[in-house]
Structure formats: C-alpha cells, structure tokens
Amino acid sequence: MNKNLLNLNLYYIKNLLKTSKMLQKNTKTQHLLYKIVIVGDGGVGKSTMVQRLLTGLYLEQKITIGTDLATCDFEIDENTTVMLQIWDFAGEKRFRFFLPNYARGASGCLLCYDITRHTSFDNLIEWYNIVKDNAVDPVFILVGGKHDLADQRRSVEFVEAIEFKNKYNIAHIFETSSKSGLNNNIIFETLTKAIIEKRKGII
C-alpha cells in the first residue's frame, strides 16, 4: 500500500475511535431537569437564600410578588448534570391561592421558617399540606433561616424542628444563614441528590 494511503487510513481510524469515544461519553451523560418550590411565611428569607446560591452574596430582597423563577446548574458527577428550576414562592397570605397550581410537577420542596419567629415555624404544616397535596411525592427539606441571629434571638429550638422532621417524614433538616453563607450550597445539593435517588428507576 502506498505511504500516503496508509497515513490517510490511519487518520480515519483515529477519528473513528475518537468519535466513538465521544458518543459513548454522551450516551452516558444524563442531563436532568427538576422543578423545586421554596415555600414558607413572608420574610423568612427565601429569596435572599436563592440570591446567595446564585451570586454568593448577601443581597437585600424586595418582597416577592406571586413567584420568582430562577435556574441553577449542578454537576453531580462526571456523568450527571442537573438543572434545578427554582420556584421561589411569595409568603404573603394574599398570594396563597396561587400555590396549588405552582406546586404541580415539583420534585422537591424547601420548607422554610425563620428561627427567630416561632409563628413561621407553626405555619409550616399549612405549607407542607399544600405542596404534598399538589405534587407527586416530592422530597421535602426543612430549612431554618437566619442562623446568624441564633445567639440573640432564637425562638425555635433545633430539637423542635427535628420533631417536625420526624413526624412528617421529611428527608433532611438544615439551619442556614444567607448572611454568613452557612449551609447555603449544601441545602440545594442535598435536595438535588435526594431527588435523583428517589426518582431512580422512574426516569
């Protein structure tokens, strides 16, 4: 065989191998999309928590009207990427009638309260019931916000929150602070991984 033809053949074989490796990698990579809802009384810090996740900064937020929508990408491992579609729901009572519709199709839910305001903890059951009745078996995570104020103004003890978690079979619980950043990323990562685990075999 002439030398040029041999080189050409080698070139084609090399490219063929490269393409087949790329195809193998692509077929293995999963790109998942999950909708999550963030609920809890007005002013507990939901939107600030989302902004902290998206920007890494503590940014003062205006009251949410209806719902705010954001997306965030997570690389779970080299074969799995997830886009979280985050529905940050208004806590004010006048927007409550929207929630049943917005909760539909949610795979996960962050149930949020403010550790310095006990009423926001007492009202969690209402939020929990609306989401549970309108989404199909979502993963719930309990989130106590404003942990930076724990020393001066805590009114919800962590043990109380653990009791709630156990009673309602909630997957995880975290206290967080958007001011210090405590547990901010891990809440969303844990929720994402728990959803993937729960949906294994369904997708």
Ligand X SMILES: Nc1nc2c(ncn2[C@@H]2O[C@H](COP(=O)(O)OP(=O)(O)OP(=O)(O)O)[C@@H](O)[C@H]2O)c(=O)[nH]1
In the bound state with ligand X, the residue whose beta carbon lies nearer, of 108 and 145, is 145
Residue 48: which of ligand X, Mg ion, none does it interact with, CB under 5 to 8 A by kind? ligand X
In the bound state with ligand X, the residue whose beta carbon lies nearer, of 61 and 80, is 61
Residue nearest to ligand X (CB): 91
Q: Is 61 in the site for ligand X (CB under 6 A)?
A: yes
Q: Is 181 in the site for ligand X (CB under 6 A)?
A: no
Q: Is 51 in the site for Mg ion (CB under 5 A)?
A: no
Q: Contact with ligand X (CB under 6 A): which of 82, 113, 178, 188?
A: 178
* Total residue count of the chain as it appears in this document: 203
CA distance 178 to 127: 21
Residue 35: which of ligand X, Mg ion, none does it interact with, CB under 5 to 8 A by kind? none
Q: Is 135 in the site for ligand X (CB under 6 A)?
A: no
Query: Which positions from 81 through 110 interact with ligand X, judged by CB under 6 A?
Result: 90-92
In the bound state with ligand X, the residue whose beta carbon lies nearer, of 143 and 196, is 143
Q: Which two tokens stand for residue 151?
A: 């020393």
What is the full DSSP assignment across the chain? Answer: --HHHHHHHHHHHHHHHHHHHHHHHHHH-EEEEEEEEEE-STTSSHHHHHHHHHHSS----PPP-SEEEEEEEEEEETTEEEEEEEEEE--SGGGGGGHHHHHTT-SEEEEEEETT-HHHHHTHHHHHHHHHHHSSSPEEEEEEE-GGGHHHH--S-HHHHHHHHHHTT-SEEEE--TTT-TTHHHHHHHHHHHHHHHHTTT-
Q: Is 47 in the site for Mg ion (CB under 5 A)?
A: yes
Considering the complex, what minimum distance in angstroms separates the CB of residue 128 from Mg ion? 18
In the bound state with ligand X, the residue whose beta carbon lies nearer, of 178 and 192, is 178
Would you tell me which residues interact with ligand X (CB under 6 A)? Answer: 42-48, 60-61, 63-64, 90-92, 145-146, 148-149, 177-179
